[in-house]
Amino acid sequence: MDYETPQFFRVMQYAARADRDVVDMVSGNPDWDPPEGVRDGLRDYAEADADAFQYAPSRGLKSLREEIAARRGVDVSRVVVTNGAGEANHLAMTGGMDHFPGDEILLTDPVYPYYAGRASFLDAETTIVSVDEDGHLDPDAVRAAASEETSVVVVNSPNNPTGAVYGADAMAEFVAIAEEYDALLVSDEVYDHFDYAGRFTSALEQDSPNVVATNSFSKSMAITGFRVGYAVFPSPDGPAGDLVDRAGTRHMLTNVSGSRPAQYAVERALRTTSPEYYAKCRRRLERRIDTFCGALDAAGAEYNRPEGGFYVMARFPEFAGSFANVYELIDDAGVAGMPGEAFGESRSDWIRFALVTPRIEEAAERLAAFFE
């Protein structure tokens, strides 16, 4: 699988060219409004003095870093504001490869394709651990796959694409495994606000020099286009204290700094958005999960009901998760999902549907009718 060519675009382009109406359940772009604080932040920024239009500090606006640090309960020296979780993961993975021994990155299957693309881009050996049938990652399987060669372990909870949320015990185990094998656990927690079962635990709960937590406001504030994310590195005073400076240097030499109007708007929204905004987003998605899973039942599909995140993976009877079948669904059912084979081998019989469209009911009806 060539992860460097985004398969998302192939499917989206096919759907766009289809000779019929198609419900897009391919990409992970929220379809709801950002918090008003984001818009207010941009409105105010538009009237700011000239000096507000100049470079933000390379590691992010001070007020934004402080707000993030306070919310995550860490010292501000550990926080680097990045160009979205994408850059946060890039910095964490490259830093882990540089600092810790070994040339191997341990990923799960199914895998979010950007992780695999980055690993291949970094010329890392990639070892794959398949998740359970229910989408969970078994710490014993991770331990069995880890070795002296393991430099970085990447986990993602709530998970894209399976919808699994790893519990506190599992996260503690992943951290312990990273410590055991002198490796870095990169914990991508970008869907942390979308936790329907109350199971989510941040890797930062473990006070470990072997953990980097990555996150962004792309999903929680419905602003994937803003590119404001962050990574929390081990304390600069601890045994992996060089990680935050390595990341700061790489960030500076790659990007100089992040985009300031976007950081400004996010900082405003962080301070002004009530918990009700996030709760409402969760309730909206829970309703969509109910509707969509009902249709999957009607279609005779197997699926893991999402514990978190935006996605449902489903396996239909005698209908593999191939590009050919996904194209057939687009043409004949008018629903576009992502073929499971784009996420690795273990879920090549499955199809992933993103619940970020207001047309879930229509999609559900179309799928139920198609598989009837």
16 binds its own copies (CB under 8 A): no
**Residues 116, 87: Cα–Cα separation, whole Å:** 14
Site string for its own copies, 38-67 (x = CB under 8 A): xxx-xx-xxx--xxxxxxx-x---------
113 and 26 in contact (C-beta within 8 Å)? no
Residue among 194, 109, 116, 106 nearest 157 (CA): 194
Site size toward its own copies (CB under 8 A) is: 55
Measured from the CB atom, the residue of 167 and 248 that comes closer to its own copies is: 248
Beta bridge partners of 187: 155, 213
58 and 259 in contact (C-beta within 8 Å)? no
Measured from the CB atom, the residue of 58 and 126 that comes closer to its own copies is: 58
224 binds its own copies (CB under 8 A): yes
Site string for its own copies, 290-329 (x = CB under 8 A): ----------------------------------------
Choose which of 18, 29, 182, 199 interacts with its own copies (CB under 8 A). Answer: 29
Choose which of 16, 20, 33, 290 interacts with its own copies (CB under 8 A). Answer: 33
103 binds its own copies (CB under 8 A): no
CB of 344 to its own copies, least distance (A): 18
CB of 18 to its own copies, least distance (A): 19
CB of 228 to its own copies, least distance (A): 8
Q: Which two tokens stand for residue 200?
A: 């989510």
* C-alpha distances in Å from residue 267, one per residue of 35, 60, 228, 366: 12, 11, 10, 41
278 binds its own copies (CB under 8 A): no
Question: How many C-beta atoms surround the C-beta of residue 263 within 10 A?
Answer: 25
220 binds its own copies (CB under 8 A): no
Measured from the CB atom, the residue of 47 and 318 that comes closer to its own copies is: 47
84 binds its own copies (CB under 8 A): yes
Helices 360-371/275-298 angle, 10° precision: 10
Residues in touch with its own copies (CB under 8 A): 4, 6, 27, 29-34, 38-40, 42-43, 45-47, 50-56, 58, 83-84, 86-87, 90, 114, 117-118, 121, 222-228, 249-250, 252-262, 265
